[in-house]
A = this chain, B = another copy of it.
Amino acid sequence: MSGYQLSESKSIAMMKLLALCFFAISLISIPIAEARIRHYKWELKYEYKSPDCYKKLVITINGRTPGPTILAQQNDTVIVEVKNSLLTENTAIHWHGIRQIGTPWFDGTEGVTQCPILPGDTFVYKFVVDRPGTYLYHAHYGMQRESGLYGSIRVALPDGESEPFAYDYDRSIILNDWFHKSTYEQAAGLSSIPFQWVGEPQSLLIQGKGRFDCSAANPPMKADVCNNTNPECSLYSTTVVPGKTYRLRISSLTALSALSFQIEGHNMTVVEADGHYVEPFVVKNLFIYSGETYSVLVKTDQDPSRNYWATTNVVSRNATTPPGLAIFNYYPNHPRRSPPTIPPSGPMWNDIEPRFNQSVAIKARRGHIYPPPATSDRVIVLLNTQNRVNGNVRWSVNNVSLNIPHTPYLIALKENLLRTFSQTPPPEGYDFKNYDIFPVQNNTNGTTSDAIYRLQLNSTVDIILQNANTMNPNNSETHPWHLHGHDFWILGYGKGKFDPINDPKKYNLVDPIMKNTVPVHPFGWTALRFKADNPGVWAFHCHIESHFFLGMGVVFEEGIERVGKLPSSIMGCGQTKHLLKP
């Protein structure tokens, strides 16, 4: 008995010890396995910088443009304290590709989800990054993004999980176009009568660096304004080790330009788009539109005794902008050593075919397919046109040009300030039968409006983006449309006018890629499907800065009644002042 008791007490003690050990182990492993908080403190300032050798005021984050890269793991909570030190200018920062599930008030879209952040104020964004992948952040206020307020978000898989592709190193490269005029000058020109077009960008930046030819400037510039020996505008150089595989996360935040990106002598295998795995395919030129992100795998399998050019070119516009250059530096060559070759020329700017084909080639990766609902509850057709409204040149959707109000929709809807915007629903389509998309159209019925589309929560919505001619003959532009708060399935691309009877039969419902940004090609259409399952108010707009500024966007509301209590930090503008205590 006593032996048994002893044994039992011994085994209990053993179990207790084991339990304690497991508990201790669990304590140790908690910081690894559980989501973490990633805390950033940013100060936004105007500073003189020379990203392409021309000195101008830019908006910096902690002294830098592009700003710091946000690094996190899936399910981490990202907290960014944004101190606005921009003197007299407000700001708001959008976390591009982050769906903000449960935190629609932190989407960072001025006029839609928040009041702007005032000078002197510190605004705290707090959101969960719920999926791995490559995302972006940038100003979402006026045309402020162009001032240099942008950067990368890289969300890794949780520890122990791995991507469906292998690589040795991981790099982020943002492509951008760059204007020498301030965003104030550009925006004032766009809003003026007569219209003053901002023109083509002066240069293209690769990871924040470009090169404007100061000596060719006319009229000439002083050396303190433009100086090609300024180290700030030394070309971006990324060092690679021969015989390895690199994951390059290529993204574009151009104000205007559609781009092609290439690395001399190297193939690129596309494996990710906007945070979704792509069934791999190989390209020489990666076409990329503003707001898109891609991961490509590059093998450093070329002659290691030299460096190679990485270049980016404008496509889709007959731009005067010279190509952007960077150095793909094979270790141990000097990172600034020029490749011995002439940089490769990019594809023809006006050849739509390869761009269209790349769009069609992007499918969800096998084993990572999220099939779309087989049918949709609602189809909204959005005709993209450029037209004149009240004497101003505007971009419109179904002949309605969006005016973002200054009482944010999210607050207006949640707090019943419904007089702050039109309650007449915007059109679900255009005059399909009679509208010819190929000639220049008068569009005399063009209007501006701040009305929005209200969607049934959890309904499935199809969007048909229909391109058309601009106000210039034989001209149709590429518009990259970006949806906030959701990813959509891309069901199909087409040329000419979308046929509502026959084209849906060709939709890819098997392995469509999900994205948050998609181009509609010149004179073409793009069909999307998404589930309106994220309570909030969400912008859907052309990601070309001047196009959105001139009204090329719509706004969706869904499940406003399910939105939680709004934080007071997003308040303070327009009619939200009426929410002040009496």
Contact = CB atoms under 8 A, between A and B. Distances in A.
A187 B577 contact: no
A119 interface: yes
A356 interface: no
Copies in the complex: 2
Nearest to A88: B142
A87 interface: yes
Contacts of A115: 118, 572
B87 A142 contact: yes
A182 B116 CA distance: 23
A188 interface: yes
Given A116-B118, A118-B573, A406-B120, A188 B46 contact: yes
A435 interface: no
A143 B87 CA distance: 9
A577 B405 CA distance: 20
A540 B52 CA distance: 43
Contacts of A189: 48
Interface stretch (A219-227, A336-344, A469-477, A491-499): A219-227
Given A87-B184, A87-B187, A89-B88, A573 B572 contact: yes
Contacts of A569: 577
A433 interface: no
A43 to B, nearest CB: 12
Bin chain A's interface residue count.
Answer: 35 or more
Contacts of A568: 577-578, 580
Contacts of A48: 188-189, 192, 196
Given A87-B142, A87-B184, A119-B90, A580 B571 contact: yes
A581 interface: yes
Nearest to A118: B573
B141 A88 contact: yes
Interface in A87-116: 87-91, 111, 115-116
Contacts of A192: 47-48
B47 A188 contact: yes
Contacts of A571: 572, 577, 580
Interface string A180-207: 0011110111011000100000000000
A228 to B, nearest CB: 16
A564 interface: no
Contacts of A121: 406, 573-574
A57 interface: yes
Nearest to A572: B572
B574 A406 contact: no
Contacts of A143: 87-88
Report which residue of A182, A574, A581 has the largest number of chain B beta carbons within 10 angstroms of its beta carbon.
Answer: A581
10 contacts: A45-B188, A48-B192, A87-B187, A87-B188, A118-B118, A118-B406, A120-B406, A120-B573, A571-B580, A579-B580
Interface of A: 45-48, 57, 87-91, 111, 115-116, 118-121, 141-144, 182-185, 187-189, 191-192, 196, 219-222, 405-406, 568-569, 571-574, 576-581
Q: Which 10 A-B pairs have CB atoms at the shortest separation, nearest pair first?
A: A120-B406, A572-B572, A88-B142, A46-B188, A568-B580, A118-B573, A87-B142, A568-B577, A219-B220, A89-B89
